[in-house]
């Protein structure tokens, strides 16, 4: 399971570097991974200090730091 989460984390990281600030739902939709895996990958990257979270009126957005 950790291998799969790490793999998804790599896709999430590259996507955020290309696209900039995004919502979690847009990441899941664009990468075609289950939202649960994307959430785990975001947690993984956050723990490594590689993400910033931005609160906005319509929710929380994620961007690569």
Tell me the angle at which helices 35-47 and 24-31 cross, rounded to the nearest 10 degrees. 120
Each domain of the chain, given as residue ranges in start order, spans 2-64
- Note the pLDDT of residue 58: 85
Choose the CATH number for 2-64 among 3.30.1490.440, 3.30.70.2740, 1.10.1280.10, 1.10.10.10.
Answer: 1.10.10.10
Give me the average pLDDT of each 10-residue run along the chain (65 residues). 91 96 91 92 96 91 94
- Note the pLDDT of residue 25: 87
- Note the pLDDT of residue 1: 83
- Note the pLDDT of residue 44: 96
Cβ atoms within 10 Å, residue 12: 29
Residue 7: name the closest of 41, 31, 35, 34 by CA.
Answer: 41
């Amino acid at each position: 399971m950790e291998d799969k989460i790490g793999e998804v984390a790599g896709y999430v990281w590259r996507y955020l570097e290309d696209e900039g600030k995004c919502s979690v739902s847009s990441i899941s939709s664009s990468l075609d991974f289950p939202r649960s895996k994307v959430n785990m990958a975001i947690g993984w990257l956050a723990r490594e200090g590689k993400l910033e979270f931005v609160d906005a009126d319509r929710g929380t957005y994620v961007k690569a730091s």
